[in-house]
Amino acid sequence: MSTKHIKTINKQNLIKTISTGGCGECQTSCQSACKTSCTVGNQVCRKEA
Protein backbone atom coordinates (compact mmCIF):
# COMPACT_ATOMS: atom_id res chain seq x y z
CA MET A 1 0.00 0.00 0.00
CA SER A 2 1.27 3.43 -0.84
CA THR A 3 -1.09 6.25 -0.01
CA LYS A 4 -0.75 9.75 1.34
CA HIS A 5 -0.88 8.41 4.90
CA ILE A 6 0.31 4.81 4.82
CA LYS A 7 3.31 3.52 2.94
CA THR A 8 4.12 -0.19 3.12
CA ILE A 9 7.84 -0.67 2.78
CA ASN A 10 8.27 -4.42 2.26
CA LYS A 11 6.48 -7.34 0.67
CA GLN A 12 7.86 -10.49 2.25
CA ASN A 13 5.18 -12.15 4.35
CA LEU A 14 6.86 -14.24 7.01
CA ILE A 15 3.85 -16.42 7.67
CA LYS A 16 3.92 -17.73 4.11
CA THR A 17 7.53 -18.83 4.54
CA ILE A 18 6.53 -21.35 7.16
CA SER A 19 5.58 -23.74 4.37
CA THR A 20 8.18 -22.66 1.81
CA GLY A 21 11.19 -22.30 4.13
CA GLY A 22 13.17 -24.49 6.45
CA CYS A 23 15.81 -25.80 4.02
CA GLY A 24 18.52 -24.95 6.57
CA GLU A 25 21.07 -23.83 4.00
CA CYS A 26 21.37 -20.33 5.50
CA GLN A 27 24.28 -19.11 7.59
CA THR A 28 24.35 -19.87 11.28
CA SER A 29 23.75 -16.59 13.05
CA CYS A 30 26.63 -16.76 15.50
CA GLN A 31 29.16 -17.60 12.80
CA SER A 32 29.55 -14.07 11.57
CA ALA A 33 30.35 -10.91 13.49
CA CYS A 34 28.15 -11.83 16.41
CA LYS A 35 29.35 -14.11 19.14
CA THR A 36 27.56 -12.76 22.17
CA SER A 37 24.08 -11.97 20.91
CA CYS A 38 21.56 -13.77 18.81
CA THR A 39 20.52 -11.78 15.79
CA VAL A 40 18.78 -14.00 13.30
CA GLY A 41 16.67 -11.37 11.54
CA ASN A 42 19.61 -9.87 9.71
CA GLN A 43 20.66 -13.09 8.05
CA VAL A 44 19.86 -13.55 4.38
CA CYS A 45 17.96 -16.44 2.87
CA ARG A 46 20.17 -18.29 0.39
CA LYS A 47 17.19 -19.25 -1.74
CA GLU A 48 15.97 -15.65 -1.98
CA ALA A 49 19.34 -13.94 -2.38
Partner 1 sequence: MKFAENLTHLFTFGEDHILLDVNSGIVHQLSPLAYEVVQFWRQSGCDLEELVASPGLAAALTAEGTADDIQEVCQGLAELAAAGMLLSEAPELKDYRFSSDYVVKALCLHVAHDCNLRCRYCFAGTGAFGGDRSLMSLETGKKALDFLFEASGGRKHVEVDYFGGEPLMNFPVVKELILYGEAESRRRGKELKQTLTTNGLLLQGQVLDFLNEHEIALVLSLDGRKEVNDRMRPAIGGQGSYDVILPHFKETVEARGGDNYYLRGTYTRFNKDFFEDVRHMVESGFDLVSMEPVVAQPQEEYAFREEDLPELFRQYDELARYYVAKARAGEPFTFFHFNLDLNHGPCLPKRLSGCGAGHEYLAVAPEGTLYPCHQFVGNPDFAVGNVDKGIENREIGNNFRECHVLAKEKCRACWARFYCSGGCHANAWNFNQDLKEPYDLGCELEKKRLECAIWIKATEA
Which residues of this protein are in contact with partner 1, per CB under 8 A? 1, 3-15, 17-22, 24-46, 48-49
Rounded to whole angstroms, the Cα distance separating 41 from 17 reads 14
36-45: Cβ within 8 A, 24+ apart:
45/21
CA–CA separation, 25 vs 17, rounded Å?
14
Provide, rounded to whole angstroms, the least separation between the CB of residue 25 and partner 1. 5
